[in-house]
Amino acid sequence: MFGMSDPATVLTQMRRYASEARFEMAEVMASELTQRMIADKDRDLVKQDLLVQGLRDLANILEIRGKEKAEKLKLSLKASKELAKQRSKLAKMHLEASDRESAQAVSANRPDDEVQAGRVLTLLRKKGAAMKRFAKANKMLPNHIEACTEAVHTEFIISGNLKKGAKVVQRLVSAITAAGTVNRSGNSFLLLADKQRPADVSVLIEKMQPWCQSTAGLAEVQRTALENIVNNLQSQIQRIESGEQAANAALSAAVDKLNPTMDYHSFSGS
């Protein structure tokens, strides 16, 4: 089915379905592809890399589908567990081939994979397990904006407030501060933190604004710090739009250096 003899073609077609929000079909393709590739015990480097990509895609697709069918969330965690196993195997294969740079590139995806699993655990309302994932990601790559943002989000939606959220909020403030100035790419405003995917500033502001409300329960010190971050980001956007602040001329070069990944959540409208 789906021409499984050519995994690269299957991945391309599956991602096309995902970009069209045809997630049920994308899930079927990703699931069948990864199962068949795992059964192949003679995978070379190319096939192992495709398997890792397929498992990462499958975990993300199942996460999105899990918002409507809860049983998909457990399958997403299962895919994430297999991803970790096969990702480690891929890195080892590169090392055995004396390709340390490629091995490091494989390992560089670990923080984002931890965040993805953490998001699923949040949807399952497993706060402690989710927080451990976000903390692990932020330890692997300090000032990881998405990990820090998701940690605050998890505290807020599961606890119902941020009365105990001082530490996670402070980590988020530090991460955004460390990312530097806002950059413009077309109609989007981005933060380009080192070794991270671009963070959409407008999305960040929208997420943070409810946390700044007095009803969120943050202590005054953290609430003020978060408000200052939001105000600063809004101010930078205004200055860029008015021409008072230049968009980063190195934006394209910085984005080009990042590993290409599928932004499934933009397809799902989340």
Q: Which amino acid is it at 222?
A: Q
**Which long-range contacts does 103-107 make (Cβ < 8 Å, 24+ apart)?**
105/259, 106/52
* Stretch (H or E) spanning 182: strand 182-185
What's the CA dihedral at 193, 202, 173, 125 to 10 degrees? Answer: -100
Specify the domain boundaries for CATH 1.25.40 within the chain.
1-107
Exposed e or buried b for every residue in 48-70, given b needs 16+ CB within 10 A? Answer: bbbbbbbbbbbbbbbbbbbeeee
pLDDT of residue 68: 84
CB-based contacts of 146: which residues, under 8 Å, 6+ apart?
112, 115, 137, 196, 197, 199
| Interval 19-55: pLDDT, tens | 999 999 999 999 999 999 999 999 999 999 999 999 9
What's this model's pTM, rounded to 2 decimal places? 0.90
What's the CATH code, domain 1-107? 1.25.40
**Taking all residues of the chain, what is their mean pLDDT, rounded to a whole number?**
92
For residues 67 and 158, what is the distance between their CA atoms, to the nearest angstrom? 16
| Interval 243-270: pLDDT, tens | 888 777 455 455 555 555 666 666 555 4
- What is the mean pLDDT of each successive set of 10 residues along the chain, which is 270 residues long? 74 95 96 95 95 98 92 97 98 97 97 98 97 98 98 98 97 97 93 94 97 96 97 96 74 52 59
pLDDT of residue 247: 74
| Interval 233-245: pLDDT, tens | 999 999 999 888 8
